[in-house]
Structure 1
Amino acid sequence: MLQLGFNDPQFEVWAQRALMNIAEGGCELGEVLSPAPRIPAGNTDTWYREWCALADRLYEQAGECRNKGHLISARQLYQRAATYYRTSYPLLFGTPTDPRVLEAYRNEARAFRWAAQLFSPPIEAQTIPFENTTLPGYFYSGGHGQRPLLICTNGYDDTLHTMHYAHAVAAQRRGYHVLTFDGPGQGAPLIEHGLTLRPDWENVVGAVLDHILARPDINPNKVALAGWSFGGFLAPRAAAGEPRIKALIADPGQWDMLAAIAGMLKRMGAEDLVAALPNLPKEANAPIMQAIEHNPALKWTLVQRGFWVHGVNSFTEYVKALAEFTVSDRVHQIQCPVFITQAENDPIAGAADVLFNAIEAPKTFRRFTAQEGAGDHCEAMARSVYHQHAYDWLDTAFKD
């Protein structure tokens, strides 16, 4: 297994996540390796400072290059700076929001905004009306004339800037217009405005469609929606309630969130609580939280990220919130062609086949393997393998 030299399992995971951006100029291996000797295991303060220092240096260099007219160098430096700002703060997630998370996110967004302006054609920042606020997005032109559109939706803990590498550039290169956005519980809506995640993603995507389909260069009969990570739940949920979606990609496919909680309780040895879901007794909080506290990765996933994203303060409240995230009660409403993925070493993808088997529309299942380098969550270490299969499928689905 790949090891970058960080003396902490969580630090290794987050450093490795940055490498997904390398193919499109979003990081350099040597830069990702460089902070490792200076960051003690478990020291999130030093982790934050080192990644921000690296990003600050590149951001300053980018400005110097831009002022001298070296625009390609400036763009590449801004891209890498955005990645390293992004890497600095997820381990600081939690309630109340750490001011460093807000500062680093704003720096990430600022660096990416500069990079976006320096692409040819420029990547267009979007302000998407949504209820009494707005959602941030970026529009990528696939070329002149009316073209198909790919809308990309995020999961729990990434931002629309990361979707540049995970989705957008590869689709744009194939002639698709692309829209990335962050909804409630993601990116700026969560960090800047405190909007928590909501299950009715069909209403979120509906607002996005209302905004973007006003453009005359989009073919309204060829609009696809792709979701990655937790977006593999959100995208099917949206497609079930939004007939304007004409093709769906779920990477990986996911099922009702309460089923995932039941599986977690069984693995923790708390099988006796499964029958009570979703209304766990308050006294269940203490022993579960005690078990979580002894597992740093689980603590980050459930408490720092999960409680924060859902706006709850206890495990029992978290379970009740997740119980609203259902697709089983509406999966039969999905009528467009569907592409479902499952990476063999990804526990989050465990129910991908359940979703696939329940879908009544035309469907394709693709299992990604470690042998092809794509066996991890969202095929992160070989994202181009995902692009090949998902976008070739989409080409065929939208073929005249």
Structure 2
Amino acid sequence: MPARAATIAYAFKNAAWADGYLQGTLAAQTTGGSEIGETFAAAAQVRVGDCASWQAAFREMAERVEELALESDRAGHAVSARDCFLRASNYYRAMLVQMGPRVDPDYHEVARRMRSLFARAAALSEGLIEPFELPFEHGHLPGYVLHGDDGTGPAKTVIVVGGADSFAEDLYHWYGAQGARRGYKVVLVDLPGQGLTARDGFRFRPDAEAALGALVAHVGARPDVDASRIAAIGFSLGGYLVPRATTAGVPLRAIVAASIFPDFEDHWRSIPLVSTMAEWEGTWKMALLARLFGSRMKVVERSFDTYKERWGARSIAELVEKAAGWRFDPGAVPCPTLILAPQSEYDGYGLVRARIHDALDRLPNPRKRLVVLPSALGAGRSVGGPNLSVCARMAFDWLDDTLAADAPPAAS
């Protein structure tokens, strides 16, 4: 049966599907992770509310683009092969946004395929993307170093930390490639709980300083890194992990939090859908909730399936309980801090706005700033995802100034 034409007039009326997932894939075009035509061709095959059709559509596109990569690679066309491997990897990643590791049997196979194709792109990157492993406790945490600097001496470096459902490969598109273009050495890593680390016995944990401290020490010991100019960007859950680590003495020169979560337990419990699902899970009320919210609930359930594996929880109620103790004092964050807040959350939720301003007021370093990511530029939804260029501009322009040679060091 021939594929339907890729003429999609923004047919996804469900905001989660259109803004959260379709735009998220489209946004990666900025960094070579997608093409508009390919993304729309896949989206044209999707039945809104049907997770299986989303998975099938993006699997088919991933396989098509992977075959293009292999053809170019066999013929010795390295640039074409690299570009296609990168896009194919990200289309497999697009599948995962509507999959759960416990409810979809092929979740881990898809994730491994995504990772293996990213590795093929890295191998053809002419040294730009260097895979590495961080020794940590009973195993290793996987990651990449992007060499955006000119190689003439120890470089300013930024570590990118993602969220509760991220993979290290995502971070290439979220800030990674943009930082390398600006001359940074960029470190991307799966911290405990992220990526596939739960399969190796690592779970999310509140003491972010353990893994981030090991990472900063490891990176700072490299001769091509200026250990006095290591910064970090944390988005989504990373907005807890990164600032928390600095309060425990991890020596970061500056941080960007998009956004900031000083009390993650309180954040979890303040979301009505989370508390409702925790109370109703396993009852007839949950089935009613699924009928009321339809396709949105199918995706939400898969998201929570991912969270449960990564936190090591058997239920949503246990997941919420595991957030106990996830907090830090913004008044103990010693370094310059930029907070990025999406406008839809900043304007739409008084509790979010109050939390952000309370944290901003308590940050002790005078070099601090809040930037609201504007909806008028398409950056106003969750962590600014639909406009990666605007997010990168805000973060790296500020880091450029803050890490400049004549800028004062972080307060001790």
TM-score of the two chains, using structure 1 as the length reference: 0.88
Is contact 1:136–1:188 with CA below 8 Å preserved after alignment?
no
TM-fit CA distance, 1:119:
1.7
- The AA in structure 1 aligned to 2:335 is C
- Determine the structure 1 residue equivalent to 2:266: 259
What stretches of structure 2 of length at least 5 have no aligned partner? 1-7, 406-412
- Determine the structure 1 residue equivalent to 2:357: 353
Query: Equivalent of 1:156, from 159, 164, 184?
Result: 164
Whether 1:23 and 2:30 are equivalent positions in the alignment is yes
Whether 1:173 and 2:181 are equivalent positions in the alignment is yes
Whether 1:396 and 2:395 are equivalent positions in the alignment is no
- Determine the structure 2 residue equivalent to 1:305: 306
Count of residue correspondences:
384
Please give the alpha-carbon distance, in whole angstroms, between the structure 1 residues aligned to 2:111 and 2:321.
29
Query: Equivalent of 1:368, from 347, 368, 373?
Result: 373
Residue deviations 1:250-306, cap 9 Å, x none?
0112231222234224x7997xxxxxxxxx9x8998588567544454543763233
- Determine the structure 1 residue equivalent to 2:220: 213
- Determine the structure 2 residue equivalent to 1:79: 86
Please give the alpha-carbon distance, in whole angstroms, between the structure 1 residues aligned to 2:131 and 2:274.
44
Please give the alpha-carbon distance, in whole angstroms, between the structure 2 residues aligned to 1:92 and 1:283.
22
Is contact 2:145–2:187 with CA below 8 Å preserved after alignment?
yes
- The AA in structure 2 aligned to 1:147 is A
Please give the alpha-carbon distance, in whole angstroms, between the structure 2 residues aligned to 1:167 and 1:150.
10
Is contact 1:154–1:228 with CA below 8 Å preserved after alignment?
yes
TM-fit CA distance, 1:15:
2.0
Please give the alpha-carbon distance, in whole angstroms, between the structure 1 residues aligned to 2:261 and 2:40.
33
Please give the alpha-carbon distance, in whole angstroms, between the structure 1 residues aligned to 2:84 and 2:310.
31
- Determine the structure 1 residue equivalent to 2:341: 342
- The AA in structure 2 aligned to 1:345 is S
Please give the alpha-carbon distance, in whole angstroms, between the structure 2 residues aligned to 1:182 and 1:241.
20
Distance 1:301 1:333, change over 3 A: farther
Moved more, 33-42 or 248-257: 33-42
Distance 1:179 1:359, change over 3 A: same
Please give the alpha-carbon distance, in whole angstroms, between the structure 2 residues aligned to 1:317 and 1:3.
41
Identity %: 27
Moved more, 315-324 or 136-145: 315-324
Please give the alpha-carbon distance, in whole angstroms, between the structure 1 residues aligned to 2:213 and 2:393.
28
Please give the alpha-carbon distance, in whole angstroms, between the structure 1 residues aligned to 2:362 and 2:97.
34
- The AA in structure 1 aligned to 2:190 is D
- Determine the structure 2 residue equivalent to 1:379: 384
TM-score of the two chains, using structure 2 as the length reference: 0.85
TM-fit CA distance, 1:334:
1.3
Please give the alpha-carbon distance, in whole angstroms, between the structure 1 residues aligned to 2:363 and 2:284.
38
TM-fit CA distance, 1:371:
1.9
Is contact 1:152–1:178 with CA below 8 Å preserved after alignment?
yes
Is contact 1:74–1:115 with CA below 8 Å preserved after alignment?
yes
- The AA in structure 1 aligned to 2:363 is I
Distance 1:283 1:32, change over 3 A: closer
- The AA in structure 2 aligned to 1:189 is T
